Amino acid sequence: MGEAEHRGIERPAKLALWACLVLLVLTLLSSIFPQRRGLPTHWLEDPSGQWTLSDVRAQPESAWHNRGEQAFNQGYSRSTFWLRIDLPQWDEGARYLGIGNPLLEHLSVHRLRQGSNMPTLLRLGMARPFAERPLPFVSFVVPLSSADSGATLWLQVNSRTSVQVPLDWWDETAWARHQQQVSLFHGSYLGVTAAMLAFNLLLYLAIRERAYLWYLGWMVCIAAFVFTLNGSSFQWLWPHAPAWNLTVLPTSLSLAIACSAGFFVHFLREGGRAQPGEALFWLLGLGNLALAAAAPALPYRVAIVGAIAMAMATMLVAIVSAAQRALRGNFGAQYFLIAFSFVIAAGVVLALNKLGLIARTFITEHATEVGSAVEMVVLSLAIIARLNHQRRQREIAQAALLDAQQRLTTELEVRVAERTEALQEANAKLTELSQTDALTGIFNRRYLDAHLERELRRLARDGNSMAVMLIDVDHFKRFNDTHGHPAGDACLQAVAAALSANVRRPSDTVARYGGEEFCVLAPDTTEAGAVALAETLRAAVADLRVVVDGVDVAVTTSIGLCWRTPEHPWYASALLKKADEALYGAKAGGRNRVHTV
């Protein structure tokens, strides 16, 4: 099986393994951070939205549903919901009740202390200016004193956004720690976003490649969506315009997905050429742009559900298309899948958390921020890798062009009577490049073939002998599979250095024959001298220790030796064939040996 075919079989398994690994890692984060502590909750549904606190208190106990400590979640609903919370007893100090959904529109907290018949009312919710909150925090926090010990709270909730009411219960120490965590987390996300924006902006200004402009749009819009989702935008950007949140969420999400579609099209183009299926992405991008433009005029639920549906459809098509291209070896598609797998896995983790299928922790509550931040960093690194890949491809093309130029120069020099000194120097440099193996620094096969023909003609005239050795690194494929291709390259470099260091005379030539095979030409030598040289080279390699991940790995070689005198025909192909037969004899004899024919 060829190497390309082998890679084609491995690549799907690697991509599937990567996707599973990302999802597993983000899911397991729920066990690293402590679970959020809630409070026992009972709830009622008021479909009409007309009930007062007196109506609610008059309801029989059998009408209340027991939610336990699980987060209350009714999705998108037009009803008003009442939650009853019986606070625990405590002796002294402050306590804090957190309501971890900053997008709840209307939230009223009715508090009835023990020994009192007059409830107090605290109005919260995203529909009110940020300054009216009792504590300046991204989510809603109800401060409680020791006088509230054992009190009963009724929460009245109505919202066009998803009716999710996750409750948190803190003492003063835990509240201070939570504030620090949230501030550090949001500050870190802002720092990562700003750094990646600056990097990609400079990259776009330097390269002017349209893909990076689309990616800048994606980062700006997804950051706006995330900061609005976690309440930071309302606190810092528009604290007096609460209704703007309901416009920013679907608009920024739709714009982000539209930019991701444009980025996908340009980033995955091979050689700058348009690819099949791009029309579908432009259509999806236009659909997202149209939805973003219409979002301010649409009812919030229609706009956000439409934005989520369009986002899911666009990302699904993008992932499937990227997977197909990655399986065909598209370099950019592989990095696209790796980076966006974090965003998708984060969305899955957040959904599992909202459905109560995994523990509610600090990380799972902020999975969207974690996933998008990691995606920004990974894809920015992928952009660098893509640029390096493109540079290497250009170098390969340039090398091929130089090789073609060298062949043309060789043909023309027969017809050219004289050349300038500058042209001679340029040709000398090109010749040196074409004769040297890029990995090992020794002569390459091309030089070997030409040099062998010249030596054979000279030795035929002089009546001298010639020794040809073919040297193969034992079990090199297994070495590569076990230790990786970088270690394999280091092994070939070490073997080449050992061979070059142990040839005896300037006339002896060491060249890379191909893959893990090397060739040594030893003209003007006796058979005994050739055998001795071959044994020296074999022992020199056997003494090598290639360091792989801090461990010394032994390397051996098998050597096939062909020695010919003037009585035999001087044909290069015949000598190399005999040396190859000898090499097979050395392998058949157990490897790490010299075999002569």
Contact 333, 267 (CB under 8 A): no
User: Three-state SS across 241-298?
Assistant: CCHHHHHHHHHHHHHHHHHHHHHHHHHCCECCECCCCHHHHHHHHHHHHHHHHHHHHC
Please identify which of the residues 375, 455, 516, 517 carries the catalytic annotation.
516
Let me know the angle formed at the C-alpha of 336 by 330 and 338, rounded to the nearest 5 degrees. Answer: 110
Contact 64, 196 (CB under 8 A): no
Of 259, 175, 252, 181, nearest in space to 216 by CA: 259
Of 522, 474, 527, 518, nearest in space to 496 by CA: 518
Length of the chain, in residues: 597
d(CA 104, CA 242): 11
Q: Indicate if 516 belongs to the active site.
A: yes
| Residue in the block written with tokens 């998108």 | 76
Let me know the angle formed at the C-alpha of 377 by 13 and 16, rounded to the nearest 5 degrees. Answer: 10
Contact 123, 108 (CB under 8 A): yes
Q: Return the H-helix or E-strand segment holding 112.
A: strand 106-112
Residue 298 buriedness (CB in 10 A; 0-12 / 13-18 / 19+): middle
Contact 36, 358 (CB under 8 A): no
Contact 459, 523 (CB under 8 A): yes
d(CA 254, CA 259): 9
Rounded to the nearest angstrom, the gap between the alpha carbon of residue 176 and the centroid of all alpha carbons in its chain is: 35
C-alpha dihedral, 307 to 308 to 312 to 315, nearest 10°: 60
Q: Where are the beta strands (DSSP E) in 450-582?
A: 466-473, 509-514, 517-523, 545-548, 551-554, 557-564
Beta-strand pair 557-564/594-596: parallel
Handedness of CA 22, 25, 30, 33 (dihedral sign): negative
d(CA 167, CA 250): 26
d(CA 547, CA 320): 41
Catalytic center residues: 516
